[in-house]
């Protein structure tokens, strides 16, 4: 049985959540800008970027995909349009309504990317309608997010939910079971490892504490909870958090 993309669960949506804790999130990303590089690189692992591509990153947070691409050699010709659903981050990205008109030319995007955000979007059908308006025929759509199965969702909806002012109740979707729109040809859905890397466990804890907007009471238990539910390992002279996401690659037909 397939599931629809919309969800009527009563939960705070993206704009409300990051209006309150977007600054903490952005501060953590600014302090450790390379921690999530593998998460961004996995977006293009099956469909590498081409010269002169026009990418729409939505919601874009504080422009972290643009920052990643700027650090990568050979991507200077890539154009990234950053659209965001909340003014709570850095103010770098233009704030738009998720389901309203966007300041883009119709069918102008070579790719539209939505990373680690759809679990805070109640009506993914309507958001995808916008994707279909602005991506060109033959263009790509990449959506990546936490799977409903496993320790990461538990960490977010139990530990983070308990220790952050906004709470955390994600709408985690099993991409393989979703009823995607007819205009979208789903090419590949797979779980990809995208560990977050740090020089020390102290850095890892500091990053996660800020990224998720946790209170002081979370600090003594954060590392052990991450180790239990997500996994922490030593690697290349530092430490890695065993993060992973479900990645969906599709083409507009």
pLDDT of residue 11: 66
pLDDT band at 4 (very low <50, low <70, confident <90, very high): very low
The residues spanned by each domain of the chain are 14-157+166-197+243-252
Calculate mean pLDDT across residues 178-205.
97
pTM listed for this prediction: 0.93
CATH of the domain spanning 14-157+166-197+243-252, picked from 3.40.50.2300, 3.40.50.150, 3.40.1670.10, 3.10.20.30: 3.40.50.150
pLDDT of residue 2: 42
Calculate mean pLDDT across residues 39-57.
96
- pLDDT of residue 73 exceeding 80, the answer is no
Distance (Å, whole) CA 119 – CA 123: 10
User: pLDDT tens-digit profile of 110-156?
Assistant: 999 999 999 999 999 999 999 999 999 999 999 999 999 889 999 99
């Amino acid at each position: 049985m397939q599931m629809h993309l919309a969800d009527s669960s009563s939960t705070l949506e993206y704009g409300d959540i990051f209006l309150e804790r977007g600054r903490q999130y952005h501060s953590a990303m600014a302090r450790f800008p390379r921690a999530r590089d593998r998460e961004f690189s996995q977006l293009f692992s099956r469909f590498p970027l081409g010269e002169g591509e026009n990418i729409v990153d939505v919601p874009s947070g504080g422009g972290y995909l643009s920052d990643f691409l700027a650090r990568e050699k050979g991507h200077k010709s890539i154009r990234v349009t950053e659209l965001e659903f909340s003014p709570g981050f850095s103010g770098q990205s233009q704030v738009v309504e998720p389901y309203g008109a966007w300041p883009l030319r119709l069918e102008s995007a070579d790719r539209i990317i939505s990373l680690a955000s759809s679990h805070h979007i109640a009506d993914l059908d309507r958001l995808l309608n916008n994707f279909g308006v602005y991506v060109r025929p033959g263009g790509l759509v990449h959506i990546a997010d936490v799977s409903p199965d496993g320790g990461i969702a538990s960490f977010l909806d139990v530990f983070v939910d308990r220790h952050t002012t906004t709470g955390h109740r994600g709408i985690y979707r099993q991409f393989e079971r979703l009823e995607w729109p007819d205009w979208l040809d789903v090419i590949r859905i797979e779980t990809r490892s995208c560990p977050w890397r740090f020089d020390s466990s102290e850095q890892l804890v500091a990053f996660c504490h800020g990224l998720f907007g946790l209170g002081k009471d979370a600090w003594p238990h954060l590392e052990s909870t991450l180790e239990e539910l997500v996994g922490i390992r030593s690697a290349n002279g530092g430490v890695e958090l065993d993060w992973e996401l479900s990645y969906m690659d599709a083409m507009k037909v």
